Copies of this chain bind each other. A is one copy, B any other.
Amino acid sequence: MATLKDISVELGLSVATVSRALNGFPEVGAKTRSRVQDAAARLGYRPNRSAQRLATGRSGVVGMIVKLRADMSADQTFFDVLTTLTAELAARDLDLVLSVDQGDDPVAPYARMLERDLLDGFVLNAPATGDPRPGFLMARGVPFVMHGQADPAPGYAFFGIDNTAVSVDSVGLLASLGHARIALINGEPRFAFAAEREAGFRAAMTAEARAVPAAFIADGPPTESTGYTLALSWLSGRAGPRPTAILCATTPVAAGVLRAARDLGLSVPRDLSVVAHDDALPNIRPAHFNPALTVTHAPLRDACAPLAEMLIDHLNGAPAARLQTVKRAGLIVRASTGPVPKGEEHPWQIP
């Protein structure tokens, strides 16, 4: 393995200059820099991470703690994000160490990890409403970035999508097609994103002057069977007048809804419109659904690069207030949404 010393000898420079040239210090002259870069490439130089870390006092490792869940589709989501995040962090010379937790205390695993490992920071996932983790870490001065946001106006770094807009945009599309009875199959209420989606949904429905009976806002694990069970009960008409459109938290949920409609002999989109939020899970292609699924689209894995970038910036001293990004999901209209059926334009009557 070539070292800085090797390059410095090769070029008759000091290791200090070689180090500065390679690290982009502005005071190094252009020709010197390119000579150094050439030599580094020629000798196959790779910085020794341990030496860099020892010299800078950083460990180069960031932690992430995951809750083990019974639910398999969560594992799949997690797996996708994990691999992408690992790659994005690696590209920035950061190692990700993972810890699995099954306990009830949300902050205990962080405390444990902090005292066991030398960590430069954390990536927080799955924000819950009233999440205690940000407060815990901020009190200890530990840098972190959150995937999503747990608070309306956070004092910490985060990257997420506008979940209110996800609902508002979906309702907007359906309303423009004449739908008045729109039901929601939401994510589990402990997650902050689900609260935001529900708030957006209620606000948009209220703005359209369409009240929603409590029975038509439901939630569950993000699975096909959640979608199937709820849709079956709603579409059978047992809970009251059938919705003409259903908003789904995830694409597997939408798959269940489509199956329920099929089983009941309903045609999509003639009898029912379906919209889902699409996290772009591997192996699930809403465009290949039958009918192709209308979605709000925001790949989870697209968050990984920004998260890694923000964490690096944060570790380099950027203030949290600068490191807050909310992306708007795109609305992709496909074949699962259509005009409200004739005669079904009336909203629910709330007693």
Contacts and interface: CB of A to CB of B under 8 A. Distances in A.
A54 B50 contact: yes
A83 B68 contact: yes
A117 B49 CA distance: 9
A48 interface: yes
A176 B345 CA distance: 68
Interface in A87-107: 87, 90, 95-100
B118 A100 contact: no
Interface stretch (A71-79, A152-160, A225-233, A260-268): A71-79
A301 to B, nearest CB: 11
Contacts of A46: 118
Contacts of A15: none
A48 B97 contact: no
A87 B70 contact: no
A331 to B, nearest CB: 28
A159 to B, nearest CB: 21
Contacts of A78: 79
A325 interface: no
Given A75-B75, A76-B75, A100-B83, A59 B70 contact: no
A50 B120 CA distance: 13
Nearest to A70: B283
Nearest to A46: B118
A97 B83 CA distance: 10
A53 interface: yes
Interface string A57-77: 001110000101010110110
